[in-house]
Amino acid sequence: MRLTTCCALLVGFPVAGCGGGGGGSPDAGADVGVTGDQGVVAPTACTALLEEAGDAYTLTGTLRDCAGVTGGAAVAGSLMNLSGITIDNEGTDMTPCIAVLCDDTHAYVATNALPHYDFVATTPNALVENAFIYRVPLTPAPYAGTTSATDANTINGCAAAYTQYLAAPDTATQNEPSGLCSLGTAALMSDTEDSVTHVYQQIPCFDTTGFMIAGSPVFGPNEGAMPDPYGNPGYNYPNDTSDDYGNGAALDFCGGHTAFTMHYHAAIDACFERDASGAPANSYADATAGWDIEAAMTAPCTEPSGVVGWSADGYPMMGSCVCVARDGDGACTDVRRARSGWVYGGLGTWGDAPGEAAALGVEGSTCTTDDDCCTDANCHFSCSVTVAGNGGTDTVVGRRCVLVDYSWCTHQYVRRDDKLPAGEDYVYLDRCNGYDGPDGYAYHTTLTFPFMTGCLRGAADDYVADRGDGGMNMMGLPMCMPGQMMCCGDGICGGPENAQNCSADCP
């Protein structure tokens, strides 16, 4: 699987203008194009960029309008209409673009990876254009064999994170320790649910797992080694409008932020709703007004969510309201809020070493503010809304003292053969954050770990091509920007860095 590599965020800056950022504004005379920043070939529009699809991939047929290709209309019809949209990038007008064509088996989606709303600066990284062509399977299918898959329940790499944290909490392990995501060649893991053994492809630990309907890529649920060692950026969200951002890797309220490219770890439905023309239905300010994570995770749903993105394996990423039953006429008769099958258990579940109580004793306790968890200047805990255990296979959503570090290692997946608990108005998702219902299989956003996808239900090969002439996929990792690691030039050979993509750090 060929994937772009994330230059992971080191320092989270305070949010600039988070409450007042507007959405993109129409500009009928705008030229939809790519400017050449970060090595992107200029000038070119996304429609012209699709002419390079044959250079990036082996085509199975002539590229054409997706409407006449089986499965193509679902992808093409879900994408945002960005015609005439301009956004404010800290005083500079920029134009996002997205375009799609299909061959016999895949949709090819070209984009310059800009958001569809005015840029919200939550990191020290600038917003720049990056030209990508994604290849999406039109007939996704789950894995059928289990020969080379590792039983997910036997993966125990998090013991290393536990030992490291107790010894030196401010120092990360050399690599992402869990073993539940891939640092190289994609690996397979298996799990048995519903009396069926499912095989999943691991997602890359810091890399592209899909793309949003406006074009920016989706990354996995981890951030890099610093400031939160392989941590959960959602735990730096304000719980509601009365809270402040945390001190770690901050996302904007739509779920995205900048590193080498704008990318998303999470999504809320309102940011990706479309109007009758397919254009963004809400400005950033309107979509995120009245921010309240707990309400977003527990409020009743009135109708199923639409598609917010597409996964590397061809299954859609949908919002948090799931149709779990339809009548004979196709009307949805039961719609429920998606709830992650991953439960916050804490790093302390990985051992019982002396000193654990002092270092991790607050894990999972109820709280109101961060000060209820710890007040030390180097506090690693946040009072954040999460899914926590409530006895047996039941869970509860609420504020808990959670360790921002080691997100895979502080969450445990709880297998539930019955995804629809009696008497509740939510549906549990599977290990990958998906649900197989009357509309088929889809991933769903949750605003809690693992946000969008935790693994892939189907195969994803040759998924994303960076079409820049100096881009990170074509030439290796980008050079580090100030305050970054897991990129070329930090003097460390680890994580995604190797001799092939960074000879400077890995001779």
Question: According to the model, what pLDDT value does residue 196 have?
Answer: 85
Reported as half-sphere exposure (CB side, CA atoms, 13 A), residue 205 has a value of: 28
CA distance 276 to 368: 41
Question: Which tokens belong to 73?
Answer: 């209309």
- pLDDT confidence band for 28 (50 / 70 / 90): very low
Q: Are 175 and 161 in contact (CB under 8 A)?
A: no
Mean pLDDT of 491-503: 59
Q: Which residue has better confidence, 48 or 145?
A: 48
Question: According to the model, what pLDDT value does residue 108 have?
Answer: 96
- pLDDT confidence band for 223 (50 / 70 / 90): confident
In 84-236, DSSP assigns E strands to 85-89, 92-94, 98-102, 106-111, 132-137, 150-151, 188-193, 196-201, 208-212, 217-219
How long a stretch of residues is the chain? 507
Question: Which tokens belong to 428?
Answer: 């549990």
Residue 330 has pLDDT above 70, yes or no: yes
Q: What are phi and psi of 196, to 5 degrees?
A: -125, 135
pLDDT in tens, 132-183: 999 999 999 998 777 789 999 999 999 999 999 999 999 999 889 999 998 8
Q: What are phi and psi of 348, to 5 degrees?
A: -65, -10
State whether residue 254 is helix, strand or coil.
coil
Q: Could you give the angle at the alpha carbon of 181 between the alpha carbons of 257 and 9, nearest 5°? A: 25
Nearest of 288, 245, 290 to residue 382 by alpha carbon? 245
Sign of CA dihedral 286, 287, 291, 296: positive
- Longest CA–CA span in the chain (Å) reads 67
pLDDT in tens, 384-427: 999 999 877 789 999 999 999 999 999 999 988 889 999 899 99
Mean pLDDT of 188-213: 90
CA 74 to chain centre: 21
The model's pTM is: 0.86
- pLDDT confidence band for 192 (50 / 70 / 90): confident
* Mean pLDDT value across the chain: 85
pLDDT in tens, 68-90: 999 999 999 999 999 999 999 99
CA distance 446 to 451: 5
